[in-house]
Amino acid sequence: MISIIDDTFDAYGTTDELEVFTKAIERWDISCLDDLPEYMKLIYKSLIKLYEEIKQETKKEGKSYFINYIINELKKGVQAYMTEARWLNNNYKTTIEEYLHTSKTSSCYCTLIATSYIGMGDIITEDIFEWATSEPKIVMASCTICRLMDDIVSNEFEQKRRHVSTFLECYMDQYGESREAAIHECRKRITNAWKDINEECLMPTSVPMPFLQRILNITRFIDVFYKDKDNYTHSGGLMKECIKALLIDPVPI
């Protein structure tokens, strides 16, 4: 669903339509369907249905309040998408700081991380969701890796359509540097973000290791997606083989 919303903001929705959609997400009410264009109604209705199903499942465990944290993270992601859509519509050139502040949120990895905690049994508590949604260092490091690795491998494709500036373009504009220098800076920041993740996993913490492990594993799969090229967008090669190895031909343990 996040991919569908991302594509809607990137390629299909007009700025006016996206404003209406963002307000509908913020309200989170099925009555908002009446305000949406036809093609957005299916997306919105499916979202509401999906999160209601999650709520009912967690309700069986007496933890239905978890859904509020996940919905709030989704709202933050959509608001960040909208900020980027306004930048594009107004031809606004962002600073690196502005870009990273918003694009870490629009990566929606905060949403994925919080959602991944559902179904972890009795060890999951409301305090964990409070922590995970408060932008802790390890979560922000994961978002940084996702965003910057994506920017490196998708930059060439993005040049073929109208798009919000990536980190590479922001860096080149702000410092008058080459694309190669911008990629070098990206990789340096990715390395530093990995150091943050390693540090958070190795240091004593009040957060149980299984929750840190989820973040680590999500970041690892980002590394597979975007290591050499955009295997998420072009999913017929490596991504297909990875899914096949995981689900169809798993290694016996």
- b/e string for 127-142 if b means 16 or more Cβ within 10 A? ebbebbbeebebbbbb
pLDDT tens string 24-46? 999 999 999 999 999 999 999 99
pTM for the full predicted model? 0.89
Residue 155 has pLDDT above 70, yes or no: no
* 1-15, 134-148, 157-171: least confident range: 157-171
For the chain, which residues make up each domain, given as ranges? 2-248
Quote the CA–CA distance of 105 and 225 in Å, as a whole number: 19
Q: How confident is the model at residue 228 (pLDDT cuts 50, 70, 90)?
A: confident
Read off the pLDDT of each residue in 99-125 and give the average, rounded to a whole number.
91
Predicted pLDDT at 156:
60
Residue 233 has pLDDT above 80, yes or no: no
Q: Are 198 and 142 in contact, with CB atoms under 8 Å apart? A: no
pLDDT tens string 81-111? 999 999 999 999 999 999 999 999 999 999 9
Predicted pLDDT at 120:
86
pLDDT tens string 48-80? 999 999 999 888 888 888 899 999 999 999 999
Winning range, highest mean pLDDT, from 51-60, 191-200, 215-224, 234-243: 191-200
CA angle 90, 92, 93 (to 5 degrees): 165
**Choices 1.10.3720.10, 3.40.50.720, 1.10.1270.20, 1.10.600.10: CATH for 2-248:** 1.10.600.10
